[in-house]
Structure 1
Amino acid sequence: MLGGCERKPAEAAAPVRPALTVVVEPAAPPAERRFTGTVAPRYEAKLGFQATGRMTARNVDVGDRVVQGQMLATLDPTVLRLAVVGSKADLANARAALVNAKATNDRQQELIRTGSVSQAQVDAALAARDTAQAKVGQAQASLQKAEEQLGYASLRSGYDGVVESWTAEVGQVVTAGQAVVTVARPDLRDAVFDVPDDRVARFAAGRAFTVALLADPAVSAQATVREIAPQSDQLTRTRRVRLTLEAAPAAFRLGTTVTLGLVEAVPGPARIVLPAGAAVERDGATTVWTVDPQNRLRARAVTLGERDPGTVTVATGLAAGDRVLIAGAHSATEGQAVKIDAP
């Protein structure tokens, strides 16, 4: 037998990854900036039962209009009804004990006149009567509470509105106070937009705008800025702006997508816009993957400006002609070989 060292097979080369990329080309921003938002109710309430139990019925569906006091859902009332029956029995027992205590007290009062009983016995009978009287009051309060809790098996709307959503199903056990349905008032509607920090100043309180349907821009309504969120979202760096819709057509239903145009007073400088998936947040820093002349990925630190749904604006870190990976950035690695596949 030969006792030499065996030659190990060469390690397989890392596979070349197909990469969807774009070449950076700064472009001037449009003269009009359009924002997309939704129609939302100004007032809405998340309703729940005031008792714990198994939900046995849902009387309305999402989108249904309801009136004040209308039944929305019910719980199984068996346990609550038994509590009422038990409270009634306790009240009857307390009343019977009171009758007996009163009779005993009356006898003791008669006997004390003849000296047949001591004063201590009379005082004990009087105390027993007062205790029985108090237990009757306690039993009456318990019965009233049980009857009130029986009413908690029914969930009713507190005002006229529209059912927005359900978070519980028939047969599910829900706890007291758990939200099961959301009811909104459709008469007061807002147009809600997420506006970048650098544009919030253009939305001064009380300023009027024209809001149009995304599906049909010809259908529009006037809206006035009512509320501006005091803080921006940590991820998107936008602030929520709510505008009150004034005499809006019926087509502005809750949840409808709407748009708002904002004309830029002074055209801004050319900017670099990338798909949102190209930017990766790691250790508090934002990076993108660029492709070097040898078709290998290199991490590049960048600073982002505006963030819109689906896109981000790169303020610094990239230059015209850089090739950037726009798909699969979260699974890329430094120095990984790629095969260029332009969009």
Structure 2
Amino acid sequence: MKASTKIQTTILTLSLLIFAACQTAVEQEEQDSKVLVRVKPSSMHTVVNNLEFTGTVLPYEEAHIAPAVPARINRILVDVGDKVSKGQLLVEMDNTQLFQAQVQLDNLKTELARLDTLLKAGAVTQQAYDQLRTQYQVAQSNIDNLSTHTQVRSTLDGVVTGRYFSAGEMFTGTPSPAGKPAIVSINQIKPVKVIVGVSERFLPQVTKGQPAGVTSDVYPDQVFNGKVNRIFPTIDRATGTFRVEIVIDNRDESLRPGMFARVALSLGEHEALLVPAMSVLKQTGSNERFVFVIENNTAQRLTVEPGRKFDDRVEILTGLNPGQQLVITGQHNLIQGSEVEIVK
């Protein structure tokens, strides 16, 4: 009897040990199935709006020089690369018509003087004299007009950037390689300008006369001082940006039209929700960005819209609220609904 009781006690003890071992194994398995993560509360930070934009250096003004009427070219007095001044003679057109008009004007002038003498002597009527004087005035106007067409002058200070004809050729008014009818093209490069697109949310911070720093890869260590010269009044709905024109004096003519340029603008400060850049993941095969936050020890996936980067942090525009427990380590092992264990 005693032996039977001892056997029962032994069996009961072994059963309890086996149950305890199994329970521990289950708990360990459940523990092992949880993803270890580190979290950090998302928070707002004050950031300085030092924004950089890219653009192309443009001439401040362009002029495509041509006579008003087709004619043969007598002489072209400038070539590509020459500096010119406003009013400088650039091209002389064929002056045959001008010469003929000048002869006609001289004849009318002589005849008008003769009629003036006869009018004083009462030998001709006032009407005849007035008619000839009108002809003379019309001829003088024709001379002035032909002189303008014959002598083509620069309309601005600048440099010749294109020459499309040679002396002796006929200018017909057809478009040049620059896209417009011209014998030569002039660019004003003192000053120059850069036009950039700025996000519409910064519209209130951009003001005319605001300073800007301009750099070029050609001169990596030099910053050219510029200023906001013009703010275009409309928003591009496709990009959500408005155009801003930056003007640079360019007194030494270092910047040339066509150069790639970077423009830095300081647009004050604002509060932004910043998170570690590594916490923001990208959905494979799309542009969707997302993060994980922890609620009741469970991972929740949130789609977010990132903004600008600040060193190793990125601004979150939408999708995340301040104070949420953001996963900053272990996020690559998570899916929606994953159970987690938060570690320090």
TM-score (norm 1): 0.51
Displacement of 1:75 in angstroms is: 1.6
Q: Deviations over 1:158-208 (max 9, x none)?
A: 443222445777422239x96654434333333322334345455333332
- The structure whose residues are more often strand, as a share, is 2
Displacement of 1:229 in angstroms is: 0.7
Which residue number in structure 2 is paired with residue 156 of structure 1? 153
Q: Which amino acid aligns with 2:55?
A: G
Matched, 1:89 2:107: yes
Displacement of 1:258 in angstroms is: 0.9
The correspondence for 1:259, drawn from 250, 262, 286, is 262
Displacement of 1:98 in angstroms is: 5.7
Matched, 1:147 2:143: yes
Which residue number in structure 2 is paired with residue 213 of structure 1? 216
Displacement of 1:60 in angstroms is: 1.9
Displacement of 1:65 in angstroms is: 0.5
The correspondence for 1:73, drawn from 91, 95, 108, is 91
Shift of the 272–231 alpha-carbon distance from structure 1 to 2, 3 Å rule, reads farther
The unaligned stretches of length 5 or more in structure 2 are 1-48, 175-179, 284-305, 308-316, 318-344
Which residue number in structure 2 is paired with residue 134 of structure 1? 130
Q: Which amino acid aligns with 2:173?
A: V
Which residue number in structure 2 is paired with residue 42 of structure 1? 60
SS at match of 1:218: strand
Shift of the 235–148 alpha-carbon distance from structure 1 to 2, 3 Å rule, reads farther
Q: Aligned partners of 1:79, 1:204: CA distance in 2, in Å?
A: 53
The correspondence for 2:225, drawn from 204, 222, 227, is 222
SS at match of 1:187: strand
Structure with bigger gyration radius: 2
Q: How does 1:247-326 map to 2 (within 5 A)?
A: 250-261=253-264, 266=272
Q: Aligned partners of 1:247, 1:85: CA distance in 2, in Å?
A: 49
**Equivalent residues of 1:94, 1:132 under 8 A apart:** no
Q: Which amino acid aligns with 1:156?
A: R
Matched, 1:232 2:235: yes
RMSD: 4.3
Q: Deviations over 1:112-159 (max 9, x none)?
A: xxxxxxxxxxxxxxxx42123213322331332233234210112244
**Equivalent residues of 2:192, 2:250 under 8 A apart:** no
Displacement of 1:230 in angstroms is: 0.6
Q: Deviations over 1:212-256 (max 9, x none)?
A: 103342222122222111113466554321123256654223332
> How many aligned positions are there?
226
Which residue number in structure 1 is paired with residue 38 of structure 2? none
**Equivalent residues of 1:91, 1:143 under 8 A apart:** no
Q: Aligned partners of 1:95, 1:262: CA distance in 2, in Å?
A: 70
The unaligned stretches of length 5 or more in structure 1 are 1-30, 107-127, 274-304, 307-314, 316-343
**Equivalent residues of 1:213, 1:257 under 8 A apart:** yes
Which residue number in structure 2 is paired with residue 173 of structure 1? 172
Q: Which amino acid aligns with 2:260?
A: T
SS at match of 2:143: helix
Q: Which amino acid aligns with 2:97?
A: V
Shift of the 172–219 alpha-carbon distance from structure 1 to 2, 3 Å rule, reads same
Same amino acid, percent of matched pairs: 24
SS at match of 1:209: strand
TM-score (norm 2): 0.51
**Equivalent residues of 2:211, 2:265 under 8 A apart:** no
Q: Aligned partners of 1:232, 1:242: CA distance in 2, in Å?
A: 14
